[in-house]
Amino acid sequence: MKTYSYFILSSILLFCVTVQSTAQTKESVKKDSIPFLQGIWIEADVAPVFERALINKNAYRAQGNIQVNLKNKYYPVIEFGYAGADKTASNGIEFSTSGFFGKAGADLSMLKPKPNSTQKNNNFLVGLRLGASRFNYSLYNQTITDNYWGNSETFNLESISSTKLWYEIAAGMRVEVFRNIYMGWTIRNKHLISKTESGQTTPWYIPGYGIGNTSVWGLSYSIGYRIK
């Protein structure tokens, strides 16, 4: 009888341990059940259309990007495009440039996904980009005056080759407006890494970066499609 009672007690204890172990395993699986790849976005930036019409009629730009969602937390991205500018200054000097550019970086989601699908497909993102552009630019009607003799000479500098590197601090939002259709905006603060060396001319416009030789602000407004 004692042996029988011992067997029953041992069976009950073993059952309890097994149930607890199974529950812990299911909980662990549930926590780790978010697939690594959560989606791939292909997006086009429509902000340049409004920039050219309302802000800077001398510059033009076309830009797109491909971004990957990893575990709803990390968002590696590659951006690429073509940009240029043509401007005549008040002193008659003409500037012209065009070229391709590329950027690579990653964003981090600042929102914890909610159970409902509307919330989990919307994001507030912050991140970094490293940008590069290799381009040619030209300067026309530049004038040099000899202060001693008082003579002036006008000359042109054509197809000057230049490579510029910069980094960007980015923050923005992405919202699902229809099934797999997304819209969003990104604010960027850009800082040049490559500086103009002494004795060299400074390009008025850098494709992918913008105007100026110092830090600049930029805005992207994207429309995209989620393909996975």
Task: Note the pLDDT tens digit of each residue in 47-61.
Answer: 999 888 888 889 999
CA atoms of 134 and 223, how far apart (whole Å) = 27
Give me 195's structure tokens. 């500086």
Which DSSP letter does residue 88 get?
E
| Exposed/middle/buried for residue 29 (C-beta within 10 Å: 0-12, 13-18, 19+) | exposed
Is the pLDDT reported for residue 2 higher than 80? Answer: no
What is the structure's pLDDT at 158?
87
What is the structure's pLDDT at 141?
84
What is the structure's pLDDT at 66?
98
> Where is pLDDT greater, at 31 or 74?
74
Work out the mean pLDDT of the chain and round it to a whole number.
83
From 36, 62, 38, select the one nearest 48 (Cα to Cα).
62
Q: Which residues lie closer than 8 Å to 29 by C-beta, 6 or more apart? A: none
Using only C-alpha atoms, the chain has a radius of gyration, in whole angstroms, of 29
CA atoms of 137 and 93, how far apart (whole Å) = 13
* 7-38: pLDDT as tens digits: 444 544 544 544 455 545 444 445 556 688 88
* 118-165: pLDDT as tens digits: 456 789 999 999 999 999 999 998 777 666 666 777 778 888 999 999
Confidence of residue 86 (pLDDT cuts 50, 70, 90): very high
* 153-211: pLDDT as tens digits: 777 888 899 999 999 999 999 999 999 999 999 999 999 998 777 667 789 999 999 99
3-state secondary structure (DSSP) of residue 22: helix
CA atoms of 142 and 132, how far apart (whole Å) = 28
What is the structure's pLDDT at 127?
98
| Secondary structure element (H or E) that encloses residue 218, with its range | strand 216-226
From 133, 144, 146, 141, select the one nearest 101 (Cα to Cα).
133
From 211, 215, 191, 214, select the one nearest 95 (Cα to Cα).
211
What is the structure's pLDDT at 146?
65
Is the pLDDT reported for residue 97 higher than 60? Answer: yes
CA atoms of 186 and 44, how far apart (whole Å) = 12
Q: Which residues lie closer than 8 Å to 65 by C-beta, 6 or more apart? A: 41, 42, 43, 45, 77, 78, 79, 80, 222
What is the structure's pLDDT at 92?
83
Distance of CA 70 to the CA centre of its chain: 16
CA atoms of 228 and 223, how far apart (whole Å) = 16
152-178 vs 181-192, strand pairing mode: antiparallel
Distance of CA 224 to the CA centre of its chain: 14
Which DSSP letter does residue 73 get?
T
What is the structure's pLDDT at 115?
52
